């Protein structure tokens, strides 16, 4: 039960950071996608189920409070969490560059889906403009934020592992 409470707290904290703090540090209207950073790093460090849970929860919160259509962010962030979580079994957690590459790919994929669904289907065919003015700057900014927060996520992950181990030992007694 404590684990669920901590996860719920982290989901609310990440959502709060994305919708308040990271909107204040926008540069030319481009703000980092901290939810992509968080979901990607959590999935990379904890696995696909945690990635899916965090991605779906954060996407649903965004859809409920800010979405133009219910379910789009839910689906996209859940996919990011699930697919990133597949790397959990393959790559070392101490590798610094791979998670940043995944954050960049996840952010680019997310923004491409937003372009296709939100703009291309409405007849906006100016992809080069969208790529140069939104997708690439957003990806670079998000990767830089991911680099800044990576060690913090690893630290929290290790603390969470120690806490889980301690909790399991106390349950066995």
Residues 120-160 have pLDDT tens digits of 777 878 899 999 999 999 999 999 999 999 999 999 999 99
Distance, C-alpha 45 to centroid of its chain? 12
Q: Mean pLDDT in the chain?
A: 92
Phi/psi at 70 (5° precision): -75, 125
Residue 172 pLDDT greater than 80, yes or no:
no
Residue 55 lies in a domain: yes
Residue 173 pLDDT greater than 80, yes or no:
no
Domain span holding position 81: 34-172
What is the number of structural domains in the chain? 1
pTM greater than 0.85 (yes/no): yes
Residue 29 lies in a domain: no
Indicate the SS3 state at residue 67.
coil
Distance, C-alpha 61 to centroid of its chain? 13
């Amino acid at each position: 039960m404590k684990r669920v409470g901590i996860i719920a707290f982290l989901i609310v904290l990440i959502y709060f950071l994305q919708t308040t703090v990271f909107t204040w540090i926008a540069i030319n209207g481009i703000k980092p996608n901290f939810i992509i950073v968080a979901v990607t790093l959590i999935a990379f460090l904890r696995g696909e189920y945690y990635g899916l849970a965090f991605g779906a929860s954060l996407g649903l919160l965004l859809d409920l409070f800010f979405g133009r259509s219910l379910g789009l962010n839910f689906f996209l962030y859940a996919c990011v969490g699930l697919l990133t979580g597949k790397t959990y079994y393959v790559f070392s957690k101490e590798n610094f560059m791979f998670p940043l590459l995944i954050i960049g790919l996840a952010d680019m994929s997310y923004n491409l889906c937003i372009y296709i669904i939100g703009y291309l289907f409405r007849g906006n065919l100016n992809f080069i403009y969208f790529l140069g003015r939104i997708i690439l700057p957003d990806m670079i900014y998000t990767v830089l934020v991911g680099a800044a927060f990576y060690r913090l996520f690893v630290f929290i992950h290790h603390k969470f592992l120690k806490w889980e181990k301690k909790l399991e030992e106390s349950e066995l007694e």
